[in-house]
Amino acid sequence: MPRGLRSACAIAGAGAALALTAPGAAAAAPGLEAGVGRADITPPTGYIMLGWARGDARASGQHTRLYAKALVLRRGGRRLVLVSEDLNMVAGGMVQQAARAAGFHEREVIVQATHTHAGPTGFSNFLFKDRAFPTPEAPKARQDEPDPRLYTFMVRRLTLAIRRARADLRPAAAGWGTTRLRNVTRNRSVEAHLADHGVQRAFGKGSAAEDPLGPLHPIDAGVNVLRVDQLRGARRVPVGAWGVFADHGTVNKSTFGVYNGDHSSAAHRVFEAGVRRAGRAPRGQDVVLVYGNGAAGDVSAGLDRSGPAAAELVGRREAAAMLAAWRSAGRRLSRSPALGSRWTRVCFCGQRTPFGRLADTAVFGSSYLTGSEEGRGPLFDSTGEVLEGRRQAPSEPQGSKVPALADPGHTLEPTAVPLTAARVGDRVIVAVPGEMTVELGRRTRAAAQRAMADAGLHKVVIAGYANEYVSYLTTPEEYEAQHYEGGTTVYGPASGAFIAAALGDLAGRLAHGRAAPAAVPFDPTRGLRPAGPGYPPGARSGRIVRQPRAARRLERPSISWRGAADGLDRPLERAFVSVQRETARGWRTVDDDRGLRILWRVADDAPQELGIPVLRTSRRGTYTAVWEPPRDAALGRHRFIVTARRYRLVSRAFELRAARSLRIAKLPAAPGLLALVLRYPRPVPERDLTMRPAWARAGTVTVLTGERRTVRPLREGGTLLVRNGKAAVSVPAGGARDRYGNVNGRPFRSR
């Protein structure tokens, strides 16, 4: 190991270890067991959405449920729990308490946030992520302390997901698959990234094309999937996977205003459905994707995309890549993969390292105040000024940072953080307690690979946003650029390199069977306990105040009803709002709010200005739910069903008809030819919930050329070629239809 890495890790502090399989002992060791579980973690509405730090970004409803999903691996006395939660971050105290309640030690658990920016604020042990600031639209809205009810709810629901996975343990096999996913994400701080490679550009003046290692180097295109199949007699049943891709959860912006898992929600659902079909999983067996974000601190799919339809498109592409990696992993499954881990807790504590002195007090720079490119903050709204790139003369321990907010009481950020290196098969997972940039992720992997090289281990996977949140971690070069990420790296320019070295050392100890360094004594709970009261049970009864009307595919039939405020009527785990279709055998459920096509909001009679909702069942609100029927939805009579915690409502039936919102459009074509396509309407950001193809790939078109009338099929790819002579070419309204019977609402004429 290089001397600098050795020195940095000598000061890292205490740890615990799970025994690693000794060489030659694999054949005699017990086989792998695995189980999966999930729990609904969607809280009542009214909480400010975490990630935007805006008082006006309050969740008024729900688009997709938020989940905790767990995968438990056990081989003899060695255990590893991999969890993801549809949250912006996870708090170390919450992880510690949930792990213990589920029968594990925190050293056996890696809990990651998917990093959606549309989950609740108000549950972290340290206060930085519990803060939200007033805006002109919400001048009194703020939140400075966690809500005991929400904290208790989150700990208990995380505990439940892990317990369910533990109860599902069966003999299993596991293996890894890898692929790459390009052209989905971009680096939002490319000038800071270029500085890593000696290219100096002012803020806003650089481009990915200037990266000496190529235009894709500013992102991490790697997709890693750990596949797990349970063994049931002679049959192999795929039940889950841990999948990692680096992508910020910011496709849906603060203005969308409802709980949602962003792109990872679509990735979960598409992946799990694909695995269920491919593996013919039994009806009662859960199939789980534990979506673990990677080194995504400066990488996002949300820079030029916005809204739930765009988030679905990104998630589908992620799911397709993960399914490809999952299929390749099926050729390399093992009943006896190596399983082991090392864990420690390191402290920043103002100590000196080979990379420079660490700060002992968290300080946020001025570039933090105006937010990142996906959504600038309240200060930017008022001034229109971006503070990224502002620097002052460097001095230890905060370098060139222009200070804006300090934490002398050590209440905003933890001063000590947990680190984990875990081996499954031929790969080692290193858990990062914050938002690590792409380049620092590469340096972390390189440090681990160097430390493990003579043990024959070379494959390292970054698990970001894991087990604690200490804000951002950047390279020293990125830090000095003082973009948003550098300004929110709170313990100085040496802190990212320090964490990378400590993780490398931990991976080396794991590979060589040595104990982890002793963990620094630290209470990650900050005294918070999961002993708060439960949420009120919701209204005893509800009343429909607006019935649904006849609608067409791709439109938004809706229902409104009266119930308890703050979304208290929504049950956990089961459907709240469902859509049913009338069939010859009665009413059949075709969709519900646990999917992607139903959104509901609740407007309270007395809107709250406080950061923590005042939840009382006596307060009333009006709910409105919308459903977005897909282009292939079965036609006929439909109805809404509202199944609240304590009441049930059934709407009047409404007719669903074929869409008339398609249109004929021209494409470029050779001289003498007219190329026509039947376009679907483009999704409107923050209105339309799901993506659809740009145009129909199959169908028919009635073409009028002079006096001649012909019905022509859409060819492969959905294009119709018409010889363009002297006569005009036209298509009447309703004359073009896709394979599902949807038609153009307006006529077309070539000239």
Task: Pick the range with the lowest mean pLDDT from 21-30, 167-176, 309-318, 512-521.
Answer: 21-30
- The mean pLDDT value for 679-696 works out to 96
CA dihedral 372, 50, 263, 166 (to 10 degrees): 140
In this prediction, residue 143 carries a pLDDT of 60
Position 139 scores a pLDDT of 67
Q: Is the pLDDT of residue 24 over 60?
A: no
Q: Which fold has domain 543-657?
A: Immunoglobulin-like (2.60.40)
Q: Measure the CA angle with vertex 241, ends 154 and 180; round to 5°.
A: 115
The arithmetic mean of pLDDT across residues 378-396, rounded, is 90
Q: Which residue has the higher pLDDT, 28 or 379?
A: 379
* Interhelix angle 3-10/438-452, nearest 10 degrees: 100
Q: What is the DSSP letter of 416?
A: E
Residue spans per domain, the chain: 3-249+259-351+408-511, 543-657, 663-749
Strands 654-657 and 636-643: antiparallel
pLDDT higher than threshold 90 for residue 145: no
Percent of the chain exceeding pLDDT 70 equals: 94
Q: How many angstroms separate the CA atoms of 180 and 611, rounded?
A: 41
Residue 593 has φ and ψ, to the nearest 5°, of -75, 5
Which band of pLDDT confidence, cut at 50, 70 and 90, is reported for residue 9?
Answer: very low
pTM over cut 0.85: yes
pLDDT tens string 416-464: 999 999 999 999 999 999 999 999 999 999 999 999 999 999 999 999 9
The pLDDT value recorded for residue 6 is 38
Residue 378 has a pLDDT of 82
Per-residue model confidence (pLDDT) at position 382? 83
Cβ neighbour number for residue 304 with a 10 Å cutoff: 11
Task: Kindly indicate the confidence band of residue 134, based on its pLDDT and cuts at 50, 70 and 90.
Answer: confident
Residue 138 clears pLDDT 90, i.e. is over it: no
E-strand spans in 280-338?
Answer: 288-293, 299-300
Does the pLDDT of residue 11 top 60, yes or no? no
Q: Specify whether the CB–CB gap between 203 and 191 falls below 8 A.
A: yes
How many C-beta neighbours within 10 Å does residue 657 have?
16
* Class of domain 663-749 (CATH, top level): mainly beta
- Rounded to whole angstroms, how far apart are CA atoms 586 and 640? 14
Contact 186, 170 (CB under 8 A): no
Q: Mention every residue, 6+ apart, whose C-beta is less than 8 A from residue 284.
A: none
For 145-156, what is the mean pLDDT?
A: 95
CA distance 587 to 583: 6
pLDDT confidence of residue 35: 98
The size of the chain, in residues, is 751
pLDDT tens, residue by residue, 177-205: 999 999 999 999 999 999 999 999 999 99
Tokens describing residue 119: 């989950």
pLDDT tens-digit map of 207-243? 999 999 999 999 999 999 999 999 998 899 999 999 9
161 or 606: which carries more pLDDT confidence?
A: 161
Residue 374 scores a pLDDT above 50: yes
The predicted-structure confidence for 46-69, as pLDDT tens digits, reads as follows 999 999 888 888 999 999 999 999
Beta carbons of 543 and 22 less than 8 angstroms apart: no
Q: Which two tokens stand for residue 106?
A: 């925190």
Characterize 459-493 residue by residue with b for buried, 16 or more Cβ atoms within 10 angstroms of its Cβ, and e for exposed.
Answer: bbbbbbbbbbbbbbbbbbbbbbbbbbbbbbbbbbb
Ranked by mean pLDDT, the top range of 139-148, 157-166, 607-616 is 157-166
How far is C-alpha 56 from the chain's CA centre? Answer: 22
The amino acid occupying position 226 is: L
Where b means 16+ CB within 10 Å and e means fewer, 394-412 reads eeebbbbbbebeebeeebb
What are the percentages of helix, strand and coil residues in the chain, rounded to 5? 20, 30, 50
**What Rg value do the Cα atoms of the chain yield, rounded?**
27
Q: What is the pLDDT of residues 713-741, one digit of tens each?
A: 998 789 999 887 777 899 999 999 999 99
Contact status, residue 355 vs residue 500, Cβ threshold 8 Å: no
Mean predicted confidence (pLDDT) in 572-588? 98
- The DSSP call for residue 413 is S
Cα dist from 336 to 30, 75, 76, 227, 670, whole Å: 7, 8, 10, 14, 61
Q: CB under 8 Å to 37, separation ≥6 — which residues?
A: 69, 70, 72, 160, 161, 162, 163, 164, 165, 166, 167, 168, 286, 288
Asked whether the domain spanning 663-749 has the same topology as the one spanning 543-657, the reply is yes
Nearest to 365 by CA among 400, 397, 403, 395: 403
pLDDT category of residue 409 using cuts at 50, 70 and 90: very high
Q: Does residue 172 sit in helix, strand or coil?
A: strand
Query: Is residue 300 within 8 Å of 351, Cβ to Cβ?
Result: no
CA atoms within 13 A on the CB side of 420: 30
Assign 611 a pLDDT band (cuts: 50, 70, 90): low
Structure tokens at 715: 């060819």
Q: What is the mean pLDDT of the chain?
A: 92
> Model confidence at 614, in pLDDT bands (50, 70, 90)?
low
Q: Is 176 in a helix, a strand, or coil?
A: strand
What is the number of other CB atoms lying within 10 angstroms of the CB of residue 724? Answer: 18
Residue carrying the six token digits 């019935």: 547
Min mean pLDDT across 47-51, 337-341, 639-643, 738-742 is at: 47-51
Judged against a pLDDT cut of 60, whether residue 313 lies above it is answered with yes
What CA–CA distance (Å, rounded) separates 502 from 567?
44
* Alpha carbon distance 712, 539 (integer Å): 56
- Whether residue 5 is predicted with pLDDT greater than 80 in this model: the reply is no
Give the C-alpha separation, 398 to 260, whole Å: 36
Q: Mean per-residue pLDDT for 601-625? A: 78
Residue 512 has pLDDT above 80, yes or no: yes
Token pair recorded at residue 419: 């680190």
Q: Note if the bond before 713 is cis, omega within 30 degrees.
A: no
When mean pLDDT is compared across 189-193, 482-486, 560-564, 612-616, the lowest value belongs to 612-616
Is residue 526's pLDDT more than 70?
yes
- DSSP SS3 for 320: helix
